[in-house]
A = this chain, B = another copy of it.
């Protein structure tokens, strides 16, 4: 992509309304624009990252055996009356009346609707286990939206719903999602730590939050540092095998949010040198809630003995749009964002340090064409900005690799390759730079 043809409205000023660094950087880097309180448009740079995050979430859901579908954003109020949550949900639910005065709502979550879909079609335990997920926009009418996409009102969430014959089978489904989440966040370059959590309005008696450590996080967390070094299951993890050893390994090391923190246990279990009290950002939460929805909504299947029983359910959320904020909180410096490679909007940016110089232009065009031909997702800064502005913009938007081409280096047949994550620089031939970025 040529920057001269891209739409990247970088802001020079620090936007006043942004209280935290991720919000500030997303606005400055031209990733988002606020259209109403807590409602954002995703400009092309932000959209690219959103899609990469969404795709990682999707691949790991698919790998675990979950099936993707897509439920609509609007739901019937009557559906929520069946579960009893319509009145319980409070002012965060956006309630809507259509032209015929029929009561709708903008879905904040989908337990009711997926249960309605399930009960319409599935009648026998033979069709279980089943885990259905979608990645869809939700709305939660926050009293005071803030922190940009971290606590927006219209937000993108992946939510999966598992259906099983009994609690033992439901725990197998829960464990699969637990492992899928470990993999999902690790692939994004995050250390997201599962912590035992309260269940809140979703209900149920078993829940874990996945929390990224960041000083700006919304909740205090207490962990044993050992949890930071636990191995994440590889791509070849067998979801049909018994996953409990993995779950045990991750849940036996102390890690808790302040809501459920047990100070006595923490001090007893964790050696002082390994105690860490910091803050974190929730990026996912998983729930086992048994028959909380299937009983009132009559989602029953015939068991092996022919008797109808309510299914045991769980739900599993990932905050897809929120993850952009969380990743930036975890990966930035004073100059801007440092995208992990897997979610970067582009893998590399070519900086033409003297636009209009025939030799430099030609070298840049050649390198840009070669990188594209080899499948590298590359941005080419072909604007007529001065070199200093190009350096600053490249650092701000956080592309992992910068290739700088100027007349001086080029006279020696060299370009400079800078790695954004650690600032390291190397001088090399254009061919070597291409080789470094391929594969």
Shortest CB distance A91–B (Å)? 5
- Answer whether A104 and B41 are a contact pair too, CB < 8 Å, given A7-B67, A67-B7, A72-B154: no
A363, CB-defined interface residue at 8 Å: no
Q: A98 vs B65: C-alpha distance in the bound complex, in angstroms?
A: 38
Interface pick from A112-120, A182-190, A219-227, A397-405: A112-120
Interface string of A172-187 (1 = CB under 8 A from B): 0000000000000000
Q: Is the CB of A36 within 8 A of B102?
A: yes
A91 CB contacts on chain B under 8 angstroms: 99
A9, CB-defined interface residue at 8 Å: yes
A75, CB-defined interface residue at 8 Å: yes
A65 CB contacts on chain B under 8 angstroms: 5
Q: Is the CB of B68 within 8 A of A44?
A: yes
Q: Is the CB of A130 within 8 A of B7?
A: yes
Shortest CB distance A43–B (Å)? 5
A139, CB-defined interface residue at 8 Å: yes
A116 CB contacts on chain B under 8 angstroms: 35
A42 CB contacts on chain B under 8 angstroms: 69-71
Q: A6 vs B127: C-alpha distance in the bound complex, in angstroms?
A: 9
Q: A77 vs B421: C-alpha distance in the bound complex, in angstroms?
A: 43
A102 CB contacts on chain B under 8 angstroms: 36-37
A132 CB contacts on chain B under 8 angstroms: 7, 44
A41 CB contacts on chain B under 8 angstroms: 69-72, 113, 117
Residue in A5, A7, A46, A68 whose Cβ sees the most chain B Cβ within 10 Å? A7
Q: Is the CB of B141 within 8 A of A99?
A: yes
Shortest CB distance A196–B (Å)? 31
Q: Is the CB of A113 within 8 A of B35?
A: yes
Smallest CB-CB separation from A11: which chain B residue? B121
Q: A113 vs B33: C-alpha distance in the bound complex, in angstroms?
A: 11
A137, CB-defined interface residue at 8 Å: yes
A69 CB contacts on chain B under 8 angstroms: 7, 41-44, 46-47
- Answer whether A74 and B36 are a contact pair too, CB < 8 Å, given A44-B67, A47-B68: yes
Among candidates B33, B71, B106, B139, residue contacting A35 with C-beta atoms closer than 8 Å = B71
Shortest CB distance A319–B (Å)? 16
A73, CB-defined interface residue at 8 Å: yes
Smallest CB-CB separation from A136: which chain B residue? B137
Among candidates B39, B50, B70, B121, residue contacting A72 with C-beta atoms closer than 8 Å = B39
Smallest CB-CB separation from A120: which chain B residue? B33
Q: A67 vs B92: C-alpha distance in the bound complex, in angstroms?
A: 34
Interface string of A115-157 (1 = CB under 8 A from B): 0110011100000001010000101010100000000011000
A121 CB contacts on chain B under 8 angstroms: 7, 9, 30
A117 CB contacts on chain B under 8 angstroms: 33, 41, 43
A214, CB-defined interface residue at 8 Å: no
Shortest CB distance A345–B (Å)? 12
Interface string of A88-116 (1 = CB under 8 A from B): 00011010101100101010000001001
Q: Is the CB of B99 within 8 A of A154?
A: no
A92 CB contacts on chain B under 8 angstroms: 99
A98 CB contacts on chain B under 8 angstroms: 94, 141, 153
A86, CB-defined interface residue at 8 Å: no
A266, CB-defined interface residue at 8 Å: no
Q: A437 vs B121: C-alpha distance in the bound complex, in angstroms?
A: 33
A76, CB-defined interface residue at 8 Å: yes
Q: A141 vs B9: C-alpha distance in the bound complex, in angstroms?
A: 35
Top 6 A-B pairs ranked by shortest CB distance?
Answer: A9-B121, A42-B70, A41-B71, A91-B99, A39-B72, A72-B154
A73-B137, A94-B96, A96-B96 given; name 13 further pairs at CB < 8 Å. A9-B121, A33-B117, A35-B72, A35-B79, A35-B116, A36-B72, A40-B72, A41-B71, A41-B113, A42-B71, A43-B117, A44-B69, A92-B99
A-B contact pairs, 19 of them (CB 8 A): A5-B67, A6-B67, A7-B69, A7-B130, A7-B132, A35-B71, A36-B72, A37-B102, A41-B117, A42-B70, A42-B71, A47-B69, A72-B137, A73-B137, A74-B106, A92-B99, A94-B99, A96-B96, A99-B143
